[in-house]
Amino acid sequence: MAGDQKGKAKAEQAKGKAKETIGRAVGNERLIAEGKAEQSKGDARQAKEKTKDVFKH
């Protein structure tokens, strides 16, 4: 399960980065904001999983 969540975190981060990059390329502020939000969501998920790993061992 933890590996699945870590994968989701990486996917969210990558998707967010792509959205942000595309938004910057076309000058779309909303797309940039959505991308940053997805990256933050992925960062939070990754931090949660790392915390769970620390307490697991």
pLDDT digits (tens, 9 = 90+) for 10-54: 999 999 999 999 999 999 999 999 999 999 999 999 999 889 888
Percent of the chain with pLDDT over 70: 95
Per-residue pLDDT at 1 exceeds 70: no
Please indicate, yes or no, whether the overall pTM of this predicted structure exceeds 0.75.
yes
Longest distance between any two alpha carbons in the chain, whole Å: 46
- 31 class by beta-carbon count within 10 Å (0-12 exposed, 13-18 middle, 19+ buried): middle
Task: Give, in order, the Cα–Cα distances in Å from 4 to each of 1, 11, 30, 35, 49.
Answer: 5, 11, 29, 21, 10
Length of the chain: 57
